[in-house]
Structure 1
């Protein structure tokens, strides 16, 4: 089972991110991430056996995530994989959350990525060109209260993301 920990935006904010993905696609082409898959990855856990997934779900269900807020207000691009994303300044609470979850995972023997955390929401993969100045300015505030353990299942030419467990509020 391919797993990761993530923040999942509430439905209205996810729709807004989808609108930004449409705007980016019109400029950059590539493969648009479906609205249902839009998220912020906190820790990629890779392939895990089913029993480990159950233990991770139990662990996360007992973990409390401190509420926080993150302002997204910039376009970004990872050139090598052709990723177009939106993000913002990494708020200290968000960075602290990611680091504490990674440390807890290491304590229970689970290695995770990324070591270097660049908070972002991927909108496009295999983009043909980076975002340019013609993309509109935007500012969206994301209030988060919990994290999800997410299963990534390959389907067709993409993936379906299914939350398996949530942290407690």
Structure 2
């Protein structure tokens, strides 16, 4: 992140909210993994691994590139990139948006028909961050569902197990 030397912000996110930080940009790498215990269309455990490169610009736009690492040798979907204003919703089958929660917290919300998936990104000063993962079922649902672009159908799974997330300030 490049800030004017006269600025000593308490966090990366608060620096971007200050009008005098015109050249500010915050960049993060979030690495996330978990196990999905799939129950349909077939029973199996799926190891999920994602890397998100996130840039929060002074223009209040969030640029994200995500990469999924497949556990099998089949070719996975290509890297996905998207850009949106903070709070703007975008996506295909699942709607995704980034929101500023406070001066040190961003959240990425993805809404599926059955549940919401959140990535919480918290900064500590201007050189450190943490990430955590959260899944919440919507009322009336007892299992999670997400789209499989490879199979062209929804997968059903129980609550994800062993969620792990790391964050790096770039």
Regarding TM over 0.5, the answer is no
Q: Which has the higher helix share?
A: 1
Higher strand share: 2
So what's the TM-score if we normalise by structure 1? 0.24
Q: Max radius of gyration: which structure?
A: 2
